[in-house]
C-alpha cells in the first residue's frame, strides 16, 4: 500500500469520525433539549408543590382553629349539661315535695269532708230537737189556753226556759252552718289548688 492509499484511508476514517461526532453532537443537543424541557417541567412541578404546600399549611391552620373552637364548644356543652343535670335534680326534688303536699292536701280535704258530714248530722239532730221543743211549746201553750190557771206561772217559766233553749239551739245551728259553709269553701279552695 502506497502513501496515497494510506492518506485516503486516513481521510476516509477521519470523515467517518467527523460524521459520528456530528451525529453524537446532534444526539447530545437533543438530550440537552429534553433535559431543559424536563427541568422546566420540574420547576413547574416544584412551583405547584410549593403552592400545594402553602395551601396545606393554610388548611392545617384552619383545621387547628376549628379544632380549638370545637374544644371550646365541647367544654361549654359539658358545662350546660352539668347545669341541666342539676336543674333536673332540683325539679325532681320539687316534684317529690309537691306530691307530698298534694297527698297532705287530699288528707286534709278528706278530714274536712268528714267534719262537714259530722256537722250536717249534728245540725239535723239539732233541728229535730228544735222541732220537738216547738211541739212541746205548742202543747204547753194549748194547755194554758184550756184553763190550767193554777200552773200558769210555772208553765210561763217553762215556756220561757224552752224559748231560751230554742234560741240557744238556733244560735248554735247558725254557728254550725257558718262553720259548715267555711269548711265547704276551704274544701273547694283546696280542690282548686290540688
User: Do residues 170 and 130 lie in contact, with contact meaning Cβ atoms separated by under 8 Å?
Assistant: yes
Q: Closest by alpha carbon to 133, among 157, 174, 164?
A: 164
Other Cβ atoms within 10 Å of 177 Cβ, number: 13
pLDDT at 1 over 60: no
pLDDT above 90 for 72: yes
Please give the residue that has the higher pLDDT: either 55 or 143.
55
HSE, side-chain direction, 13 A CA sphere, residue 139:
8
Predicted local distance difference test score (pLDDT) of residue 65: 92
More confident residue, 82 or 156: 82
DSSP string, 119-136: HHHHHHHHHHHHHHHHHH
Residues 154 and 136: their CA atoms lie apart, in Å, by: 15
**Alpha carbon 43 to chain centroid, angstroms:** 63
pLDDT digits (tens, 9 = 90+) for 107-164: 877 887 887 788 778 778 878 877 887 787 777 777 666 655 555 566 667 667 777 7
Predicted pLDDT of residue 131: 81
With bands split at pLDDT 50, 70 and 90, how would you rate the model's confidence at 37?
A: confident
Place of cell 297532705: 104
Q: Is the pLDDT of residue 190 over 70?
A: no
Amino acid at each position: 500500500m502506497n502513501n496515497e492509499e494510506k492518506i485516503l484511508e486516513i481521510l476516509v476514517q477521519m470523515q467517518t469520525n467527523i460524521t459520528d461526532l456530528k451525529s453524537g453532537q446532534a444526539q447530545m443537543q437533543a438530550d440537552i433539549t429534553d433535559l431543559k424541557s424536563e427541568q422546566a417541567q420540574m420547576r413547574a412541578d416544584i412551583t405547584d408543590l410549593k403552592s400545594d404546600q402553602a395551601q396545606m399549611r393554610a388548611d392545617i391552620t384552619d383545621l387547628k382553629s376549628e379544632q380549638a373552637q370545637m374544644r371550646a364548644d365541647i367544654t361549654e356543652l359539658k358545662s350546660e349539661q352539668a347545669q341541666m343535670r342539676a336543674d333536673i335534680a332540683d325539679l325532681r326534688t320539687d316534684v317529690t315535695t309537691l306530691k307530698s303536699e298534694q297527698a297532705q292536701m287530699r288528707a286534709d280535704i278528706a278530714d274536712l269532708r268528714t267534719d262537714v258530714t259530722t256537722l250536717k248530722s249534728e245540725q239535723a239532730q239539732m233541728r229535730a230537737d228544735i222541732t220537738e221543743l216547738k211541739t212541746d211549746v205548742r202543747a204547753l201553750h194549748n194547755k194554758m189556753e184550756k184553763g190550767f190557771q193554777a200552773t200558769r206561772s210555772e208553765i210561763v217559766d217553762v215556756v220561757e226556759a224552752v224559748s231560751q233553749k230554742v234560741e240557744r239551739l238556733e244560735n248554735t245551728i247558725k254557728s254550725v252552718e257558718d262553720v259548715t259553709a267555711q269548711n265547704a269553701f276551704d274544701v273547694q279552695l283546696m280542690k282548686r289548688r290540688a
